[in-house]
Amino acid sequence: MKKGIFLISFILCIFFLNTKGQNDIDAFRFSQTDWSGTARFIGAGGAFGAVGAEFSALATNPASIGVFKKSEVTFTPLVVTIMNSSSSYNKNLSKYLSNNYHLSNAGVVLAFSTKETSNWKGVQFGFGYNRIADFNNELRIEGTSANSSIMDEFVNAANQSSRDLSESGPFDTYLAWNTWLLDYDSTQGTYYSPLEKQSLKQSKYIHTSGSIDEMNFSLGGNYGDKLYLGGTIGVPFINYIEKSTYEEVDETDSIGGFENFEMEDYLYTRGTGINFKIGLLYQPVDFMRFGFAFHTPTFFNSLKDTYRRDLIANYSDRTYSDESPEQYYRYKLTTPLRIMGNLAFFIKKRAFISAEYEFANYGMSSLFANDYSFSDENQDIRNKYGAQHSVRVGGEVALNENFLIRLGYNYKSSPYKENINDGSSHTASGGIGFRSKSFFLDLAYALKLSKEKYWLYNPIYVNAAETEYAYHKIALTAGFKF
């Protein structure tokens, strides 16, 4: 059983480029959401589904649009994120600090009143966008290997392949062959590498950027100030870039003539999808409102990957280098459906306390292509990923007619099966706001903590690096009511 779990973790936290480079990691990465948007939404932990009258909540429970009494324009022009990452690999600790600036929200809600004699108290239409996933991050891993090299894996791949290396490994074994990191023993009839099972200084730097930004088109209504209904068409846009540099160095001069090699990987993914969301809210008494929302899977009908790899090997007498051909590949992705429940309590129209529960099973994600079945990759998805439970709680208190304070908390459970990794997260947030009859300004701060294991290559040959992340986010939102 332990061996099985160990093997399952192989591809969990490492991306190897190949002719069909899309795998379960891509499906999982683009299926996740980290709901963001306005500073008010962030400050109260994103728990606005039952509170309503908040643009960013249209992405979670569309029925929240029915609570709007006035039309509104909202804009979040400044979100500052400071990322602290640390890794512990073979007792060596590495830390990295980076930052990012972006816009996370822009939207408008138009509220239309109905006839006084009608039980329908209003109809609302909203459109705009929210950021639902942020990929900006940097990580560095360093340490001395325990008699291991990534070439151990390349040698195994070369010896198991019955095809020419130029056909079977244009992104790994063939590059190693052309840079003399991989050689052939004609006597034994096998491939080998001078780096096999050597003690080497290893390091990897990973820089990811991009996001999933979702356009929302919402329609809702208010029936008798008791029942609120809404629907949203979501159009998410994926823009993801990953650049990494992996290096091995012979610090002890134990490998004759070899000094070091560097392997640089580049991946760029872009694409557009569509999903549908429906929700309802019911307010049986003035001080309480509860709701439910259902999100269909997101259908990414055309994702395009661009990827390549460069390899440079330095020896005492010369340098060898080679690069893979730049590859392009189009494929499709279906993400899991989502179910949400919402509850809010109101205190004399001056405060609220709210909570939300969200369920998603990442084992339901699937990859497709016209020229490839992805049967193995989809089986990996079902084997590795399972249900994730998310809980969001938040509150807001009006200190006086114009000033408010907010607090929130968000917990996500691990989405992995068999405890093969962690991936859970905790987010604490707070904020302040100014509100008048026609203008509002909000400021929020959120701290997100998470951790997971990362393998530099196949865990059969290498120990895991224990990584931890701390994300500090500051958001500023301005808006108008009319």
pLDDT, tens only, 320-346: 999 998 999 999 999 999 999 999 999
Q: Which residues pair with 227 in a beta bridge?
A: 223, 282
Rounded CA-CA distance 175/343 in Å is 57
Phi-psi region at 257: left, alpha or beta (left = phi > 0; alpha = psi -120 to 50): left
Does residue 389 carry a pLDDT above 90?
yes
Nearest C-alpha neighbor of 131 from the set 84, 81, 82: 81
- pLDDT at position 12: 39
> How large a percentage of the chain has pLDDT more than 90?
83
Decide if pLDDT at 127 tops 90: yes
Q: What is the pLDDT averaged over residues 438-449?
A: 97
> pLDDT at position 5, please?
37
User: What pLDDT score was predicted for residue 160?
Assistant: 86
Q: Compute CA distances 21 → 27, 37, 140, 330, 455, whole Å.
A: 12, 32, 23, 11, 17
Q: Which residue has the higher pLDDT, 284 or 16?
A: 284
* Residue 112 pLDDT level (bands cut at 50, 70, 90): very high
- Determine the average pLDDT of the residues in 420-449: 96
Residues 221 and 228: beta-carbon distance below 8 Å: yes
Residue 361's DSSP bridge partners are 387
- Under 8 Å CB-to-CB from 79, ≥6 apart: which residues? 36, 101, 102, 103, 104, 131, 473, 474, 475, 476
Q: What is the mean pLDDT of the chain?
A: 92
User: Tokens for 22?
Assistant: 């899309």
Greater confidence (117 vs 335) lies with 335
- pLDDT tier, 97 (very low <50, low <70, confident <90, very high otherwise): very high
81 compared with 117, residue with greater pLDDT: 81
**Residue 23: which pLDDT band, with cuts at 50, 70 and 90?**
confident
- Pull the structure tokens for residue 74: 């909202």
Judge whether residue 2 has pLDDT over 50.
Answer: no
The per-residue pLDDT for 11 is: 37
Q: What is the CA radius of gyration of the chain?
A: 26
Rounded CA separation 350/343 (Å):
17
At 8, the pLDDT band (50, 70, 90 cuts) reads very low
**Residues 6 or more apart from 356 whose CB is under 8 A from it?**
46, 47, 49, 50, 60, 340, 341, 342, 343, 390, 391, 392, 393
Integer angstrom CA distances of residue 469 from 131, 149, 348: 20, 26, 40
Tell me the C-alpha distance between 258 and 316, whole Å. Answer: 6
Contacts of 162 (CB under 8 A, 6+ apart): none
pLDDT band at 256, cuts 50/70/90? confident
Name the residue with higher pLDDT: 146 or 278. Answer: 278
Q: pLDDT for 28-55, tens place per residue?
A: 999 999 999 999 999 999 999 999 999 9
pLDDT interval class at 64 (50, 70, 90): very high
Average pLDDT over every residue of 125-141: 95
The pTM is what? Answer: 0.89
Which residue stretches of 315-407 are H helix?
A: 375-384
pLDDT greater at residue 62 or residue 13 = 62
Of the candidates 325, 269, 311, the one whose C-alpha atom is nearest the C-alpha of residue 135 is 269
What is the distance between the alpha carbons of residues 397 and 123, in angstroms, rounded to a whole number?
28
The pLDDT-based confidence of 117 (bands split at 50, 70, 90) is confident
Return the structure tokens found at 363.
Answer: 């084992």
Residue 168 — very low, low, confident or very high, per pLDDT cuts 50/70/90?
low
Helix axes of 24-31 and 375-384: crossing angle, nearest 10 degrees: 60
**Per-residue pLDDT at 1 exceeds 90:** no
> Of 67-71, 163-167, 190-194, 374-378, where does mean pLDDT reach its minimum?
163-167
Instruction: Residue 48: name the closest of 183, 172, 228 by CA.
Output: 228
Give 348-384 pLDDT, tens digit per residue. 889 999 999 999 999 999 999 999 989 999 999 999 9
Checking DSSP bridges between strand 137-144 and strand 465-481, what pairing results, if any? unpaired
The pLDDT assigned to 449 comes to: 97
Q: What's the average model confidence in pLDDT over 290-311?
A: 96
Q: What's the average model confidence in pLDDT over 223-242?
A: 96
